[in-house]
């Protein structure tokens, strides 16, 4: 049986676990070592380290300190891995922790985190999703259930000092373009947790350690729903031993993770096997990770597809802006789903959690980029297809997602 190399106790603070970290830095000591060819299990907290609770209030989503995330399990050292190699990671299986068979999705307040549609949903809201074997449903979003496409939102290897310096330089240059903030997150030592690193060495490293929010060259927080169990990922290696970390497990997610307070966020475990491809970065011209998808995916193959172009809600024309186009596709889908009785928040939550596909459909037809949002029709308890009879209101509005007003 595969050994569980990292264990987490959900009743314990992740800050007290030396095999957990929430920053990227080459000085973070390896939590444990494995040999190439080994398979093993790592348990993980949810990305907030247990801050969000299974209840009917969004106060935790409103009040969370976002400098604390993401809590990752690792780094795992792989003997013999050298800079320039590729670390091959097979995701043999992924699951929820047996003492925590639920996940959360939410929208951060515009004043604390925001999200893709924060102008339309400016207040903190939350939905809880129960995990029933391979399926999920929510007491806050009725009329919909689906099979999980379980994946780590965040997985990658430690950067070396040169790469870390490059990240800090380019992100600070972006931050400096707008002093009002929000463009990126600079190092923040106050809440850094760096595994076994302690004392002065920790203080020095924490001052420059990269936050875990964006995906970068090493992978990291890319939130790719198709990186699911059965996938095989090839990661660039920058330090001796590679230093593989994983966390932010999702039971399911729509493309774009548009709600930002997650997909269906859960605590769980990952069973993986690692091997090394010597000098693989140069051999294959690798800058960012590449991966092979899982042979097993939910077979939702009937979709209702919403188009969006790069003209914003105020009617302003944008030049080939895929972000604006995808936002319009999402807003179009939300307006449509509301006709069946969903609140806007419920519809938004479905788009953030269900196996919804997002496609960049056209990027050359000036001035409009075109994005499409593919909503699987089979996840609903009722027919959402358009017909001559018009939409039937299946929900009466008596159930909605908990909302927490901002504190004044
Ligand atoms: Zn996540």
pLDDT recorded at residue 180: 82
Q: Mean pLDDT, to the nearest integer, of 51-67?
A: 97
The token pair at 182 is 């929000």
Given a cut of 90, whether residue 67 has pLDDT beyond it is yes
Give 299 Cα–ligand 1 centroid separation in angstroms: 23
Give 204 Cα–ligand 1 centroid separation in angstroms: 28
Give 278 Cα–ligand 1 centroid separation in angstroms: 31
Burial of 394 (0-12, 13-18, 19+ CB in 10 A): middle
User: Is the pTM higher than 0.85?
Assistant: yes
Given a cut of 90, whether residue 69 has pLDDT beyond it is yes
Give 121 Cα–ligand 1 centroid separation in angstroms: 19
What are the DSSP calls for 88-157, one per residue? EEEEEEEEE-TT--EEEEEE--TTTT--TTTTT--SEEEEEEEEETTEEEETTEEEEEEE---EEEEEEE
Given a cut of 90, whether residue 15 has pLDDT beyond it is yes
Condensed to tens digits (0 to 9), the pLDDT of residues 215-251 reads 999 999 999 999 999 999 999 999 999 999 999 999 9
pLDDT recorded at residue 179: 80
pLDDT recorded at residue 182: 85
Q: What are phi and psi of 347, to 5 degrees?
A: -65, -40
pLDDT-derived band of residue 1, with 50, 70 and 90 as boundaries?
confident
pLDDT-derived band of residue 384, with 50, 70 and 90 as boundaries?
very high
Give 325 Cα–ligand 1 centroid separation in angstroms: 23
pLDDT recorded at residue 200: 97
Give 218 Cα–ligand 1 centroid separation in angstroms: 17
Q: What are phi and psi of 261, to 5 degrees?
A: -80, 45
Q: Mean pLDDT, to the nearest integer, of 173-181?
A: 91
| Cβ atoms within 10 Å of 11's Cβ, excluding its own | 7
Give 98 Cα–ligand 1 centroid separation in angstroms: 19
Q: Mean pLDDT, to the nearest integer, of 356-368?
A: 97
pLDDT-derived band of residue 408, with 50, 70 and 90 as boundaries?
confident
Give 59 Cα–ligand 1 centroid separation in angstroms: 19
Instruction: Please state, in angstroms and rounded to a whole number, the distance separating the CA atoms of residues 233 and 227.
Output: 8
pLDDT recorded at residue 131: 98
Instruction: Please state, in angstroms and rounded to a whole number, the distance separating the CA atoms of residues 174 and 35.
Output: 40
Give 257 Cα–ligand 1 centroid separation in angstroms: 8
Give 301 Cα–ligand 1 centroid separation in angstroms: 25
Give 314 Cα–ligand 1 centroid separation in angstroms: 31
The correct CATH number of 3-292 out of 2.60.120.580, 4.10.110.10, 3.40.50.10310, 3.30.450.20 is 2.60.120.580
Given a cut of 90, whether residue 99 has pLDDT beyond it is yes
Give 153 Cα–ligand 1 centroid separation in angstroms: 5
Q: Domain locations in the chain?
A: 3-292, 303-404
Q: What is the mean pLDDT of the chain?
A: 97
Q: Is 245 helix (H, G, I), strand (E, B) or coil?
A: strand
């Amino acid at each position: 049986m595969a050994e569980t190399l990292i264990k987490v106790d959900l009743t314990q603070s992740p800050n007290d676990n030396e095999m957990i970290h929430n920053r990227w830095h080459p000085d973070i000591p390896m939590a444990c070592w494995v040999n190439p060819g080994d398979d093993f299990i790592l348990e993980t907290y949810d990305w907030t380290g247990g801050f969000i609770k299974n209840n009917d209030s969004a106060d935790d989503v409103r009040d969370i300190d976002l400098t604390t995330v993401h809590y990752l399990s690792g780094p795992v050292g792989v003997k013999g891995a050298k800079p320039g190699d590729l670390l091959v990671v097979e995701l043999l299986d992924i699951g929820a922790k047996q003492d925590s068979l639920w996940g959360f999705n939410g929208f951060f307040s515009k004043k604390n985190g925001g999200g893709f549609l924060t102008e339309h949903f400016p207040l903190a809201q939350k939905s809880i999703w129960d995990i029933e074997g391979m399926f999920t449903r929510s007491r806050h979003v009725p009329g919909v259930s689906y099979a999980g496409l379980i994946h780590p939102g965040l997985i990658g290897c430690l950067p070396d000092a040169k790469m870390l310096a490059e990240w800090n330089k380019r992100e600070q240059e972006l931050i400096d373009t707008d002093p009002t903030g929000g463009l990126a997150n600079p190092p923040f030592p106050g809440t850094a947790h760096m595994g076994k690193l302690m004392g002065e060495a920790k203080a020095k490293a924490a001052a420059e350690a990269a936050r875990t929010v964006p995906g970068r060259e090493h992978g990291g927080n890319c939130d790719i729903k198709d990186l699911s169990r059965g996938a095989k990922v090839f990661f660039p290696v920058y330090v001796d031993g590679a230093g593989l970390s994983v966390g932010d497990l999702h039971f399911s997610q729509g493309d774009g993770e548009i709600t930002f307070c997650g997909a269906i966020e859960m605590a769980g475990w990952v069973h993986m096997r690692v091997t090394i491809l010597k000098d693989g970065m140069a051999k294959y011209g690798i800058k960012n990770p590449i991966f092979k998808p899982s042979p097993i995916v939910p077979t939702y193959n009937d979709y209702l597809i919403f188009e969006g172009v790069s003209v914003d809600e105020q009617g302003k024309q944008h030049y080939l802006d895929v972000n604006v186009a995808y936002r319009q596709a999402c807003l179009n889908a939300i307006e449509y789903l509301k006709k069946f009785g969903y609140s806007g928040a419920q519809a938004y939550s479905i788009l953030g959690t269900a196996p919804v596909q997002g496609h960049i459909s056209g990027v050359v037809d000036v001035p409009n980029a075109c994005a499409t949002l593919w909503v699987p029709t089979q996840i609903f308890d009722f027919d959402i297809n358009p017909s001559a009879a018009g939409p039937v209101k299946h929900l009466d509005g008596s159930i909605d997602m908990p909302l927490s007003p901002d504190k004044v």
